[in-house]
A and B are shown apart, each in its own frame.
Chain A
Amino acid sequence: DVKVTQSSRYLVKRTGEKVFLECVQDMDHENMFWYRQDPGLGLRLIYFSYDVKMKEKGDIPEGYSVSREKKERFSLILESASTNQTSMYLCASSQLAGGTYEQYFGPGTRLTVT
């Protein structure tokens, strides 16, 4: 089974702190994604990566950056956390396989910025 893990389930940080959210997948997938999920807004794509050291902006990249130094690991960085970045953060990975394109999600990190 595909497994996507995230470094923390719950995280509390202060305004202005630098925050790292880590995601690791064990299925050799090329594509990895970071979403945030907020009530009433659904899932919104922040960044994605289709290869090592490659990254593409999603719909809401402002205030975030990402790093993909190894194929299995995709990090989301909040350079200076703000209260409006309090949210559930979801990582996903996928591989184009036989024409299908399912994304597999991690359990999520609930980040609170105070």
Chain B
Amino acid sequence: DAKTTQPTSMDCAEGRAANLPCNHSTISGNEYVYWYRQIHSQGPQYIIHGLKNNETNEMASLIITEDRKSSTLILPHATLRDTAVYYCIVRENYGQNFVFGPGTRLSVLP
């Protein structure tokens, strides 16, 4: 059963912020939200993860709603190289594997 739902695809203008939503209404208290991305013909790349507080790193920001039922990944200044499939994954931090759904195909347009 899918634990997350994401839009199939999104477009974003180069230089603008890309906001990628994810719904995880059945998330439990000990489950984290992880984001990965996969650029064409490469392996998935870790971006960021969080539990309930908002998180920021050099790649992106993660905003998690107070009820934790949804989150948004923000790429503050999208570039053409950010074109990829973005995966939102919910998982217990001590679980063994990640379950990747179909993700959101983000196209950054010039």
A contact residues vs B (CB 8 Å cutoff): 4, 31, 33, 35, 40, 42-43, 45, 48, 50, 56, 58, 90-92, 96, 99-108
Q: Top 3 closest A-B pairs, CB basis?
A: A105-B43, A43-B100, A102-B46
- The residue in chain B whose Cβ has the minimal distance to the Cβ of A105 is B43
Q: Is the interface of A mostly helix, strand, loop or mixed?
A: strand
21 CB-based A-B contacts, threshold 8 Å: A42-B99, A42-B100, A42-B101, A42-B102, A43-B44, A43-B100, A45-B97, A45-B99, A56-B96, A99-B93, A100-B93, A101-B91, A101-B95, A102-B34, A102-B46, A102-B49, A103-B97, A103-B98, A104-B46, A105-B44, A107-B43
Contacts of B98 in A (CB 8 A): 43, 103
A48 is contacted by which of B41, B97, B103 (Cβ under 8 Å)? B97
- The residue in chain A whose Cβ has the minimal distance to the Cβ of B93 is A101
* A42, B46: Cα distance in complex, Å: 16
* A40, B103: Cα distance in complex, Å: 10
Contacts of B46 in A (CB 8 A): 102-104
Interface pair B41/A108, CB less than 8 Å apart: yes
Within the complex, the shortest CB–CB distance from A86 to chain B, in Å, comes to: 16
Contacts of B97 in A (CB 8 A): 33, 45, 48, 58, 103
- The residue in chain A whose Cβ has the minimal distance to the Cβ of B85 is A42
* A108, B91: Cα distance in complex, Å: 23
Interface pair B41/A40, CB less than 8 Å apart: no
A40 is contacted by which of B44, B99, B102 (Cβ under 8 Å)? B102
Within the complex, the shortest CB–CB distance from B53 to chain A, in Å, comes to: 14
